[in-house]
Amino acid sequence: MRDINKQTDIFYMKKAIQLAKKGQYTTQSNPNVGCIIVKNNKIIGIGWHIKPNTNHAEINALNMAGNLAYQGTAYISLEPCSHFGKTPPCCYALVQSGITRIVISALDPNPCISGNGIKYLKKSNIKITTGILLKQSKKINYGFFKRMQTNIPWIQIKMATSIDGKIAMHNGESKWITSPKSIQDVHKFRLLSTAILSTSQTIMIDNPLLTARPQQKNKMNYPQPIRIIIDSKNKIQPYHKFINELSTIWLIRIKKDNNFWPNHVKQIILPPYKNKINLIKLFNYLGQKNINAIWIECGAILFSKLLYLNIIDELIIYIAPKMLGHLSKPLYIMNKKIRLHETLQLKFKTIKFIGSDLRIILTPYKKINT
Amino acid sequence: MRDINKQTDIFYMKKAIQLAKKGQYTTQSNPNVGCIIVKNNKIIGIGWHIKPNTNHAEINALNMAGNLAYQGTAYISLEPCSHFGKTPPCCYALVQSGITRIVISALDPNPCISGNGIKYLKKSNIKITTGILLKQSKKINYGFFKRMQTNIPWIQIKMATSIDGKIAMHNGESKWITSPKSIQDVHKFRLLSTAILSTSQTIMIDNPLLTARPQQKNKMNYPQPIRIIIDSKNKIQPYHKFINELSTIWLIRIKKDNNFWPNHVKQIILPPYKNKINLIKLFNYLGQKNINAIWIECGAILFSKLLYLNIIDELIIYIAPKMLGHLSKPLYIMNKKIRLHETLQLKFKTIKFIGSDLRIILTPYKKINT
């Protein structure tokens, strides 16, 4: 019996997406993909992509199904690959298995190869259905999709403010405006990102480690995001605290210094613009380096610049129920005196209580098509 | 059959509170009260208090029940009165009706008479149950309860800000930071209040009418709140736009002026403190004048003073998804340079999307016991 009922397709695709999610902390520059193989309304194979240089989801599911896959249906959250990459193409294995129908959620976002897998499968007389739970399958790969389509990573920026929009007291004191639960929430976002980006200024003031330190034991051994520091004036020195943590650091600079740096620290030289790092070029560079998702933690200056450049995909703002007063440090710096209709317009996406704080997520008003 | 099951009590009290709510726009300085009379599991009488100088809820319900009330049960959201006020005591009528059991939600909050009604009823051998849905019945009378217990009205203050805590551009431009839906939401709050309080400063800058203008046709004829303007320097003149609207205006002043004022405008003279209106004395005065609930709309100066005095019960803040920049006007003015641990601490109560804006309601950290 063939499972061609749409409700059935949704049912199994949901499970495939759930499987895909299991890889969200480990697949890094690869997308999260899940696959379910079904025959006679029974699941006979499941698989997901775990990490780079290992089997794709389809191969794991086919391995589990074995010969039973013959005349079965495969549910895959992302179009299977048709080219030789780090592994042989999944399309080839799917055809070999004798599977007769494949349900795919999203097409490959890479414009150069999107649709090639489906073409190959159709030529082999496999019945294809696409677009099932498209929104959900894109959501688990927001970074991969954006990078593939724009060459720029998905960019999230985090700030912590009071009700009156202040990020520090007049003397710079900011530890801690928000509650421990908000800080723990930030660690979850850090762990989901390919890289954490900050500035030498933030290192000087707050001296953070910029590692992801989730409280849940089962997440403690996941790979750490790359730490990227904008350091156009070579202020970062080997003695800074965060250097002692062994996860990768990229110092984004205009020229190298002569320090002896440990192996996990890399100086990356980018062409300057007015003696500063050109931010657009930086994000393009990071896209080329296969960074899918960047989590930014910085001060008001970089935050304001990035908002002004309209390059941020999501603003995550933790609001503490406090009033710091007008002498405290502002969230958004805009030196031009502007009129109300010229102000930066955003859009609320989600709101959630995190401990005693409120977390709001905003997107640019003109939605970037991902 | 007597209805002494607790679930049954909750069922009917919920209905009594729903009835009480029908008076929320019209009972003004009186509390909202609802009453249900039940016999043999059938509702035989319903009533609610509509407006001052008319029947209390119990009398309306008894009138509907007529002789059927004999041996019935009454559900009343507030303790019935036992003294002659504007109407004869309800306790007397309840005893006369032959009702044998009365379920009461909240006791009378007036410390001088609280419990007297119950005493009287018990003496007449009526079985009494109290405290059913206490939180809900207090909630519909937050202003009445607070005034009765503290002699000060329930005080709500409304502000509209950007994400970065700004209430106007550098030049004072603030129309409109928030969306039309937020403005309509404000009119609902205005209509629920006994009085709207503002300052001559706000009249000078924004020239508002300060009337409640709900869009729903069925609410358009409800009584308008009293408009109270703090005007210590006699800046308000008869030509100001809001004077043309005929609902009551109280100008709170240090001394009278010699203008000819229309009948609906009253100058109220309060003793000054450093040539200004003493805010604590003002709120005490308004409590004496039976104002249950005050809705404040003002600028950052009065807002900051009231927060500092810790006299506000609820802050209602509409946050527009905009960034106005650090040169714009701040929400909270605090001239002293303080440390983070000294900052004003509040508590989130509710959050809700209103059109494209976010409405947050906050309370003081140390909850006032109402």
Query: Do A164 and B161 make contact, defined as CB atoms within 8 angstroms?
Result: yes
Distance of residue B280 Cα from the nearest chain A Cα, in angstroms: 22
The number of distinct structural domains making up chain A is 2
Which pLDDT band, with edges at 50, 70 and 90, does B4 fall under? low
Could you tell me if residue B369 is inside a domain?
Answer: no
Could you tell me if residue A238 is inside a domain?
Answer: yes
Q: pLDDT, tens digit, for every residue of B196-223?
A: 999 999 999 999 999 999 988 787 789 9
Distance of residue B329 Cα from the nearest chain A Cα, in angstroms: 9
Q: Are residues A173 and A215 in the same domain?
A: yes
Could you tell me if residue A180 is inside a domain?
Answer: yes
Q: A154: burial class by Cβ within 10 Å (0-12, 13-18, 19+)? A: buried
Q: Are residues A66 and A167 in the same domain?
A: no
Q: According to the model, what pLDDT value does residue A370 have?
A: 41
Which pLDDT band, with edges at 50, 70 and 90, does B82 fall under? confident
Q: Are residues B216 and B360 in the same domain?
A: yes
User: Cα A108 from chain centroid?
Assistant: 17
Alpha carbon of B28 to those of B144, B191, B273, B289, B293: distances in Å? 9, 11, 30, 12, 9
Q: Are residues A161 and A118 in the same domain?
A: no
Q: pLDDT, tens digit, for every residue of B289-302?
A: 999 999 999 999 99
Segments of chain A with pLDDT less than 70: 1-4, 86-87, 366-370
Max Cα–Cα distance, chain B, nearest Å:
71
Q: pLDDT, tens digit, for every residue of B89-122?
A: 899 999 999 999 999 999 999 888 899 999 999 9
Task: Provide the 10 A C-beta neighbour count for residue B346.
Answer: 22
Residues in Cβ contact with B252 at an 8 Å cutoff, skipping those fewer than 6 apart? B228, B229, B230, B231, B232, B268, B270, B277, B282
Q: pLDDT, tens digit, for every residue of A271-330?
A: 999 999 999 999 999 999 999 999 999 999 999 999 999 999 999 999 999 999 999 999
Query: Do A334 and B351 make contact, defined as CB atoms within 8 angstroms?
Result: no
- Helix (H/G/I), strand (E/B), else coil: B59: helix
Residues 89-128 of B with CB under 8 A from A: none
CB distance B161 to B329 below 8 Å: no
Establish if B325 touches chain A: CB-CB under 8 angstroms: yes
Distance of residue B160 Cα from the nearest chain A Cα, in angstroms: 11
Query: Binding site residues of A for NADP(+), as ranges?
Result: 160, 176, 202, 232
Residues 126-185 of A with CB under 8 A from B: 161-166, 169-171, 173-175, 177
Which amino acid, one-letter code, is at A285? Answer: Y
Query: Do A340 and B175 make contact, defined as CB atoms within 8 angstroms?
Result: yes
Using N-to-C axis directions, what is the helix angle for B6-21 and B57-65, rounded to 10°?
A: 110
Distance of residue B183 Cα from the nearest chain A Cα, in angstroms: 17
- Distance (Å, rounded) from C-alpha B118 to C-alpha A235? 76
What is the average pLDDT score of chain B? Answer: 93
Contacts of A322 in chain B (CB under 8 A): 343-346
Token couple for B249:
């205006």
Look up the domain containing A338 and give its range.
145-364
Question: Could you tell me which chain A residue has the CA closest to the CA of B347?
Answer: A321
Residues in Cβ contact with B121 at an 8 Å cutoff, skipping those fewer than 6 apart? B80, B91, B94, B95, B102, B128
Total length of chain A: 370
Contacts of A169 in chain B (CB under 8 A): 337-340, 343
Query: What is the residue-wise DSSP string for B176-237?
Result: TSS-HHHHHHHHHHHHHSSEEEEEHHHHHHH--------SSGGGTTSPPPEEEEE-TT----
- Of the residues A58, A173, A245, A314, only one is catalytic, namely A58
Query: Do B356 and A346 make contact, defined as CB atoms within 8 angstroms?
Result: no
Query: Do B163 and A164 make contact, defined as CB atoms within 8 angstroms?
Result: no
Contacts of B331 in chain A (CB under 8 A): 163-165, 323
Interface confidence (ipTM) of the complex: 0.90
Token couple for A347:
């859009």
Could you tell me if residue A250 is inside a domain?
Answer: yes
Could you tell me if residue A82 is inside a domain?
Answer: yes
Q: Are residues A244 and A332 in the same domain?
A: yes
Query: Do B347 and A356 make contact, defined as CB atoms within 8 angstroms?
Result: yes
Q: Are residues B112 and B155 in the same domain?
A: no
Q: According to the model, what pLDDT value does residue A295 have?
A: 98
Question: Could you tell me which chain B residue has the CA closest to the CA of A352?
Answer: B351
- Mean pLDDT on B156-184: 95
φ/ψ (deg, to 5) at A326: -70, -15
- Mean pLDDT on B156-167: 98
Q: According to the model, what pLDDT value does residue A218 have?
A: 82
Instruction: Out of A80, A105, A140, pick the residue that ends a domain.
Output: A140
Establish if A345 touches chain B: CB-CB under 8 angstroms: yes
User: Cα B368 from chain centroid?
Assistant: 15
φ/ψ (deg, to 5) at A44: -115, -5
- Mean pLDDT on B135-158: 95
Could you tell me if residue A65 is inside a domain?
Answer: yes
**What is the sign, positive or negative, of the torsion defined by CA atoms of A232, A235, A241, A247?**
positive
Binding residue per annotation — B35? no
CB distance B186 to B354 below 8 Å: no
Task: Provide the 10 A C-beta neighbour count for residue B64.
Answer: 16
Q: According to the model, what pLDDT value does residue A366 have?
A: 61
Q: Which of A161, A323, A344 to mutate: most B Cβ within 10 Å?
A: A323
Q: Are residues A127 and A157 in the same domain?
A: no
The vertex-A246 CA angle with A242 and A252, nearest 5°, equals 60
Task: Provide the 10 A C-beta neighbour count for residue A138.
Answer: 18
In 3D space, the residue among A157, A148, A156, A193 whose CA is nearest the CA of residue A288 turns out to be A148
Using N-to-C axis directions, what is the helix angle for A279-288 and A300-309, rounded to 10°?
A: 80
Question: Is residue A58 flagged as an active site residue?
Answer: yes
Q: Are residues A78 and A204 in the same domain?
A: no
User: Cα A189 from chain centroid?
Assistant: 9
Under 8 Å CB pairs connecting chains A and B tally to 150
CATH number at residue A45: 3.40.140.10
Instruction: Out of A92, A123, A140, pick the residue that ends a domain.
Output: A140
Q: According to the model, what pLDDT value does residue A159 have?
A: 98
CB distance A175 to A165 below 8 Å: no
Q: Are residues B121 and B166 in the same domain?
A: no
Q: Residue A181: which region, alpha, beta or left (left: phi > 0; alpha: psi -120 to 50)?
A: alpha
For residue A176, cis peptide bond before it (omega within 30 degrees of 0): yes
Q: pLDDT, tens digit, for every residue of B236-287?
A: 999 999 999 999 999 999 999 999 999 999 999 999 999 999 999 999 999 9
Q: pLDDT, tens digit, for every residue of B178-188?
A: 999 999 999 99
CATH number at residue B220: 3.40.430.10
Which pLDDT band, with edges at 50, 70 and 90, does B369 fall under? very low
- Distance (Å, rounded) from C-alpha A368 to C-alpha B8? 55
Q: Are residues A106 and A160 in the same domain?
A: no
- Distance (Å, rounded) from C-alpha A29 to C-alpha A225? 11
Q: Are residues A37 and A63 in the same domain?
A: yes
Q: Which of A157, A159, A162, A163 to mutate: most B Cβ within 10 Å?
A: A163
Contacts of B171 in chain A (CB under 8 A): 337, 339
Q: Which of B164, B166, B174, B324 to mutate: most A Cβ within 10 Å?
A: B164
Which residue bears the tokens 């109402």?
Answer: B370
Could you tell me if residue A370 is inside a domain?
Answer: no
Query: Do B169 and A340 make contact, defined as CB atoms within 8 angstroms?
Result: yes
Query: Do B343 and A323 make contact, defined as CB atoms within 8 angstroms?
Result: yes
Q: Are residues B136 and B172 in the same domain?
A: no
Please report, rounded to a whole number, the percentage of residues in chain B having pLDDT higher than 90.
Answer: 86
Contacts of B340 in chain A (CB under 8 A): 169, 173-175, 177, 324
Query: Do B162 and A165 make contact, defined as CB atoms within 8 angstroms?
Result: yes
CB distance B199 to B205 below 8 Å: no
Q: According to the model, what pLDDT value does residue B366 have?
A: 61
Could you tell me if residue B370 is inside a domain?
Answer: no
- Distance (Å, rounded) from C-alpha A178 to C-alpha A81? 45
Query: Do A333 and B346 make contact, defined as CB atoms within 8 angstroms?
Result: no
Instruction: Out of A125, A140, A155, pick the residue that ends a domain.
Output: A140
- Mean pLDDT on B315-339: 95
Token couple for B235:
């800046």
DSSP state of A283: H
Q: According to the model, what pLDDT value does residue B83 have?
A: 78
The partner residue sitting opposite B358, judged by closest CB among A164, A169, A360, is A360
In 3D space, the residue among B135, B139, B141 whose CA is nearest the CA of residue B10 turns out to be B135
Distance of residue A181 Cα from the nearest chain B Cα, in angstroms: 15
Query: Do B321 and A351 make contact, defined as CB atoms within 8 angstroms?
Result: no
For residue B176, cis peptide bond before it (omega within 30 degrees of 0): yes
